[in-house]
Copies of this chain bind each other. A is one copy, B any other.
């Protein structure tokens, strides 16, 4: 089986890291294809960038030229999963939901530790729509940006481990979800410090996607995620050649 794992930002090294993480847990016989979206931000840390990523991820998947069996949207707290479910006949798994859903099998309550404070409401909102908040003890921010996870790993580890420990002690979390696609490498350190199971969203999503395929299950098409109705779409998809030269956010 082939699973597309789609990064939400345009930083290729993160795509590679996500792909490697996915491959490390995939079953023999599962091919992981990691995709980078054709446009968007180098890291996704807010609503504008997340909405842009939603569409970019759909374009990446829509234009992938080979058959595939499932799609993983590898952005934590990001928009867009519902759109992919409409466009595709194969299962779609969002890593935020995969992590929380898995955590619920492991403890009474779970917490998410993410990057910046501004990402917290996005994650809370996604969990709310997913119906996964009743057992969420907290969503905590480490204060490290997505890119600092790569550039200043030591400080990142310390900040994340500290918030995980606070979640276990003060918020009564019994499981920690690492709330960013780029945090997979930190699992061991968080386990060592807190003594609780730590769930990485990409890894959880791979096993769920494989399971759905194996069970022959896919998205229900009777209502919310029915295929888009045939209609005129103007000026889309964009001609990306010659698109606005890369640059600072234009807002």
A: residues with CB less than 8 A from B are 10, 25, 27, 38-43, 45-52, 54-55, 58, 62, 79-80, 82-83, 85-87, 91, 93, 97, 101-102, 104-109, 117-118, 120-122, 125, 128-135, 145, 168, 172, 174-175, 194-197, 199, 203-204, 207-208, 210-212, 214-215, 217-244, 246-251
Contacts and interface: CB of A to CB of B under 8 A. Distances in A.
A85 B47 contact: yes
Contacts of A249: 228-231, 233
A43 B172 CA distance: 24
The oligomer's copy count stands at: 6
A117 B47 CA distance: 27
6 contacts: A101-B105, A121-B224, A131-B135, A211-B211, A230-B249, A238-B244
B228 A46 contact: yes
Contact of A217 (B54, B102, B117): B102
B222 A237 contact: no
A82 B117 CA distance: 16
